[in-house]
Structure 1
Amino acid sequence: MIDTEWFWLKKDPAAPFVETAGFDKNKFPYITDAASFANVDDGVVFYERKKFSPCDILFEPTFLIGDRLQSLFKLLEPSIEFKGVQLYRRFKPAEAIHPLYWLPYLPFADAIGADSKIFQGKAIRLVVKNSALRGRRVAHCKLPADDIWLLSLEAAECLLRRRPIGILLEKVPSQP
């Protein structure tokens, strides 16, 4: 089997930050594991900013996939699960947009290679283990302070054809 190239899905630094209110970090932690996903109900979250430019993927305060990309992620990784999160503007909601996002859950892959550079629990330079990613198109990895989503070349191409807003894809080296 030929190993594929992998890409780290990251936030575009130019993407706007979404100021949220009532976004409980205990209910929606930065890194979503099985236990925290089980405790989440489909929900509503309020945002503060008057001019809201919805990005297709939010990386903070937790990882959320926009409605228009949710079906793509499900197609690429059928085992992924989702719970809905509707964002409403806190003040004057009739004058605002109300985007729907999806909180994904995918079991963690042990795919972070030994050659990765880690500082204070975050990846500075990521190297992935091909052996842990074979047969996958989307993978979810974690470090103590980092939530990492990886896309195969095929998945990255599918995503980029939809011209997503607010993301970057960084090619990552791999090891066997």
Structure 2
Amino acid sequence: MAYTTERRPLRADAQRNYDRILGAAREVFACQGAGASLKEIARRAGVGSATLHRLFPSRRTLLEAVFHDRVEELCANAAQRAKESEPGPALLAWLGDLTAYAAGSRGLAASLLHDGRDADLLDQNEGCQAMITAAARELLQRAQQAGAVRPGVRAEDLLALVNAISLAAEHHDDDAQAGRLLNIAIEGISLQPAENA
């Protein structure tokens, strides 16, 4: 069951627990990555493991809940970039947005793009991964139609690229490395040289 904003209403005490777990999960996942201990999240939230599992039946549902708001923001940002820029620059700028988020989230975004522990996220028709893929696909199609990106490049290729860049940059102190790696990769997908992408 993918995370959805259309979940059934909770009693007040259950809603408080839900919010505390979500807050603790954001902190723990940001520090320790997507594989962080669910017991540690429950402990920080001040609830038992059974309460955590009742509200979030799987690691996937908790990850989806943690990422959902940020992913919606990234998708809205993709639409805004498409309105404000030419297709090629819009795609490249949005890939920069996504790369910055992925690199700064200590593997959290990578778990949505591709992770053996949570690979079934890739099969969801709704949810964070599907939303990101749809946003990438729309920007990519526009850029290809405008002749800014090579034919044959797929949205899934770009997401795998962002994933690889975020993983490569994750354990380095150089905050600008992910951006430099993305610029190198952009040269490979562009039909025209990237300028300050």
TM-score over 0.5 for the pair:
no
**Which one has the bigger strand percentage?**
1
Q: Which has the higher contact order (CA 8 A, sep 6+)?
A: 1
What is the TM-score when the length of structure 1 is the normalising length? 0.29
**Which one has the bigger helix percentage?**
2
Which structure: larger Rg? 2
